[in-house]
Chains A and B, each alone.
Chain A
Amino acid sequence: MSLQTPRILPSHLHAFHPSSAGSHTTYTVRLLGTVTALHGSTGTLTCGNNGDVTLILKSDARLQVGKLVEVVGKVADLEGGQGYGLRVLGSTEWGDPADCDYKIYEQVVNATHRFTNIFYNVE
């Protein structure tokens, strides 16, 4: 089986955390947002009006503040029990956030989890 990376919003992070009771076969997810801050090994991704997610970056990550990016990563615990973050495995830059209608993405996430059988396998 090939790797599946469902698209999510910050509110779904807990459902894809490895400890989660809902046992998805995959814990790797995709998240779309604007990079709003970078502090060395972490960054902040703002997902429209759906809140922020802390990104745990690899040393070779080349993110730029103010750009829209799609990140593929694994849900992880943040240091000091600050909730969930995303350990970034890869990212795709999409340029100016104004060129993307985030509402469409919200609908895609909604469809992904309502009609899972065409998007990802749920155990």
Chain B
Amino acid sequence: MDGGYNNYNSFGGGGGGGGFMPGETNSPAGGKTGDRDNKTLRPVTVKQVLDASQPFPEAPFQVDGADVANVLFIGQVRNISSQSTNVTYKIDDGTGEIEVKKWVDSTTADNMDTDDGKAPGDGKSELELNGYARVFGSVKSFGNKRYIGAHSVRPLSNINELHVHLLEATAVHLFFTRGPPGGAGAPAGGAAGAGGDAVMGGADDYGAGQNKALASMGPVAKKIYSLLRTEPQDDTGLHMQVIASKLNLPATEVAKAGEELLGAGVIFSTMDEQTWAILEY
């Protein structure tokens, strides 16, 4: 399980390193870039999709305060309605129900959905009513209605895959609301404990942002951060030399890691450039 969690660390790093904080609209190339740079595929429950927030119209949807580009979920097919251009499925995963639209592409349908040529056509014949399906697509909205623009809808036959998906969705949800397991968990506890989901309210949102920023940083930066949290100090924080001696680390490393923390806006300099305190709201 530990190995799996480390993967989440690394993709959190991608988000943090990119410098796109949720809600930061005046990024160099405007709002649309987030969509293209954010290549994540998040395991979710249908309820999370229905609860997803949109900071402003046309903005990417957010789940747990993080932009979602593509989502992945598994549920039962409750209705299939075939039109000439698309097939609409109603998917129920026990947490909610959502419509999934899969566009019929007559040129690629044959070779994409059937690799053995057994079921010619659009592949939808493999999906049964009330059978389970694995859906991969992006969150869309039309009017007030939310739906999934599906890239792929395929039948699921192994129940363990369903259960593991639900656990994965939980693990990723906890990563975004509480931060990575161990280490930086403590500061996030406060943010997550209050409302559970960081989606609500600006303050919580920021807390989650801080954790995400921290998750992508080196071990020294994390050590400095936790020292600054726990060490008794006055309003001016701690001097770099003090931190270096307390952590038993060379001053150059502390300075480098300090730059990281300063750059991410997790800490700020007080008396002079070398005295730091945690930026808290």
Contact = CB atoms under 8 A, between A and B. Distances in A.
A94 B167 contact: no
B163 A92 contact: no
A104 B94 contact: no
Contacts of A118: 44-45, 47-48, 95, 169-170, 173
A7 B94 contact: yes
B215 to A, nearest CB: 19
Nearest to A112: B166
B67 interface: no
B170 A101 contact: no
B92 A111 contact: no
A5 B96 CA distance: 8
Contacts of B160: 99-101, 104
Contacts of B131: 92
A30 B94 contact: yes
B196 A3 contact: no
A2 B97 contact: yes
A107 interface: yes
B197 interface: yes
Interface in B159-217: 159-160, 163-164, 166-167, 169-170, 173-174, 196-197
B26 to A, nearest CB: 31
A71 to B, nearest CB: 12
Interface residues of B, number: 28
Interface residues of A, number: 27
Interface string B59-76: 000000000000000001
B159 A94 contact: yes
A68 B96 CA distance: 24
Contacts of A3: 92, 97
A99 B156 CA distance: 14
Contacts of A30: 94
Contact of A108 (B76, B96, B167): B167
A76 to B, nearest CB: 19
Given A90-B130, A118-B95, A104 B167 contact: yes
Interface string A97-123: 001110011011001100101111000
A61 to B, nearest CB: 14
Given A100-B159, A105-B163, A115 B170 contact: yes
Contacts of B197: 117
A92 B130 contact: yes
14 contacts: A2-B97, A4-B47, A4-B94, A30-B94, A32-B159, A68-B159, A105-B163, A111-B167, A115-B173, A115-B174, A118-B47, A118-B95, A119-B47, A119-B94
Interface of A: 2-7, 30, 32, 68, 70, 90, 92, 94, 99-101, 104-105, 107-108, 111-112, 115, 117-120
Given A32-B159, A108-B167, A118-B47, 20 more contacts: A2-B96, A4-B94, A6-B95, A70-B159, A92-B76, A92-B132, A100-B159, A100-B160, A101-B163, A104-B163, A104-B164, A105-B159, A107-B163, A111-B166, A111-B167, A115-B173, A115-B174, A118-B45, A118-B95, A120-B47
